[in-house]
Amino acid sequence: MDLLRDHLARARAGGAVFARTVAEPPWGLRLAGTIQLSVHTVVRGRGWLWFDADDPGRAVELVPGEVTLVRGGTDHYIGHEPGTDCLEPEEFRTRHAHDGESDNPGATVFLCGAYRFSGDIGTGLLEALPQVLTLQAAVGDPLRDVIALLSHELANPEPGQPTVLDRLLDVLLVLAIRSDFRRSPNAPRWYRASADPRLSPALQAMHEDAGHPWSVPELAALSGLSRAAFARTFHEALGQTPMQYLTDWRMALARDHLRTGELGMASIARNVGYSSPYAFAAAFRRHHGEPPGAWRQRESMRDKERRPSGPHIH
């Protein structure tokens, strides 16, 4: 099992929003911080991205061949030049509805997308990314092909387009995360540890079957280390014991199961390695300070209040 793939598969909420827009200068668009992860790429022309409407001095240039990802939390702005007046999505769409029909060579063609995550595993991935991440596609880089496919797909609607866009956005995200995690000192510890042959087998086993009653000797045997050497190496790499890591992973899975409401307590308990709903509830209370039922009810109300939205500019 690929740990990054596992995190992405469990975090992916689906229903990506993507749009191809043609805008003649002057143009500017405000995008809300409630969008968990925005994706921007210019196909033709240029654009700029900034966060402070009153001080766009640190704007990031958007140029063809690059993809810029923006983590949610703070509103951000994109426009033909830094500091230009930016419209709300609905007004922007109305203002530039017919720009694509002209032959103005000065018009900017750009793609704008929103990626939605679910649960704590998705939140953990997002928090590991920087506020802004720009990927530069060199000649021959597959990223160029992905951008070209996105542009073509959005310009030529065909049956099954939502599925194609979802998959292409998945590819963009994987390329972005791999690029950032390889070079970032803030990459999740599990990502770096998953490349360590002394730890990878144990980590994969815990992720593949969280419900198994794992023990430190059993995990050490999978990694080909003595119990003491495995425990020491694991703690040095991940900052916690193997059993603490396993419990944290089980609780993350349990929280996401509780959020979806698709499984009862007995099924959740079984899936995350507890012999009964009572044993699971006791472990959950120790970990979170409240029983799983109360946690689910409280989080359900919060999720309704902070339900993510897309840019809706197409």
Range 68-96 average pLDDT:
93
pLDDT computed for residue 305 by the predictor? 66
pLDDT of residue 306: 57
Tell me which of 12-21, 50-59, 199-208, 261-270 is least confident. 12-21
Whether the CA torsion 106, 81, 77, 171 is positive or negative: it is positive
CB atoms inside a 10 Å sphere around CB 97: 10
Closest CA relative to residue 96, chosen from 82, 79, 113: 79
Q: Would you state the torsion angle of the CA atoms of residues 64, 69, 74, 77, taken in this order, to the nearest 10 degrees?
A: 10
More confident site: 233 or 142: 233
Confidence of residue 5 (pLDDT cuts 50, 70, 90): confident
Per-residue confidence band for 142, with pLDDT thresholds at 50, 70 and 90: confident
Domain ranges of the chain: 3-182, 191-303
Superfamily of domain 3-182: Jelly Rolls (2.60.120.10)
Q: Is the pLDDT of residue 313 over 60?
A: no
The pLDDT tens digits of the residues spanning 237-283 come to 999 999 999 999 999 999 989 988 889 999 999 999 999 999 999 99
Pick 258 or 13 by higher pLDDT. Answer: 258
- Mean pLDDT of all residues in 200-225: 95
Q: Which amino acid does the sequence have at 212?
A: H
Q: Which of 102-106, 198-202, 220-224, 305-309 has the lowest mean pLDDT?
A: 305-309
What is the rounded distance in angstroms from the CA atom of residue 153 to the CA atom of residue 136? 21
Q: In this structure, are residues 287 and 250 in contact, taking their beta carbons and an 8 Å threshold?
A: no
- Give the integer Cα–Cα distance in Å for 298 and 41: 38
Q: Is residue 116 scored above 90 in pLDDT?
A: no
Amino acid (one-letter) located at 63: V
Least confident of 64-73, 121-130, 257-266, 273-282: 121-130
Rounded to 5°, the CA angle 166-60-145 comes to 35
pLDDT at 312: 46
Pick the CATH number of 191-303 from 3.40.50.700, 1.10.10.60, 3.50.50.60, 1.10.260.40: 1.10.10.60
90 or 13, which is more confident?
90
Fold match between domain 3-182 and domain 191-303: no
pLDDT band at 14 (very low <50, low <70, confident <90, very high): low
Q: Residue 271: is it exposed, middle or buried by C-beta count within 10 angstroms (0-12/13-18/19+)?
A: middle
Mean of per-residue pLDDT scores for the chain? 87
Least confident of 57-71, 159-173, 201-215, 248-262: 159-173
Average pLDDT for residues 141-147, to the nearest whole number? 81
